[in-house]
Homo-oligomer: A and B are copies of this chain.
Amino acid sequence: MQNDRTGESLLFLTDEQLRQGIEAMFFAYRGFTADPDRILEKYNYGRAHHRAMHFINRVPGTNVNNLLKILGVTKQSLNRVLRTLIQDELVTLKIGTKDRRERHLYLTDNGKSLEKQLSTAQSHRMREAYRRVGPDAVTGFKQVLEAMMDPKLQVTYKKLRSS
């Protein structure tokens, strides 16, 4: 084996390295969702509710189509979730003034409160992880994740950052 950059690069991209990354993603995602899941269970909600609330909080007044693009599910699937959230008064609809076909979505005070609970729990674990590994590792973490996204989602992700 050569001891130049090519050699290092090949060594760096071994199957073992890749497989470790795959398994790390799998196990970490379990941890990532574990804390919110426990809270959601108490309210008889699921991850789908959490995701919807997260992005309605993130983009207040978003319409349904935009939310569908972010979440990557069908309107029927989202609609089921939204219906319960609206019934339970965690989310409100406002009919668009400019385009009256559009429904703009907002969290109610109750919705904001639950969303805060969920994001606090999820952030807490991430904060601890960040704290343990330091800023440079966090930068790398985000770079790899961003590079793994589908191009369209990468655009969506960046738009959220700058909004």
Binding site for B on A (CB under 8 A): 12-13, 15, 17-32, 34, 51, 54, 58, 72, 119, 122-123, 125-133, 135-150, 153-154, 156-157, 160-161
Cβ–Cβ < 8 Å partners of A129 in chain B: 144, 147-148
Cβ–Cβ < 8 Å partners of A137 in chain B: 139-141, 143-144
Q: Is the CB of B157 within 8 A of A21?
A: no
**Contact pick for A126, options B22, B32, B72, B154, CB 8 Å:** B22
Most B CB atoms within 10 A — which of A24, A128, A130? A24
Closest to A21 in B: B126
Closest to A25 in B: B32
Q: Is the CB of B146 within 8 A of A28?
A: yes
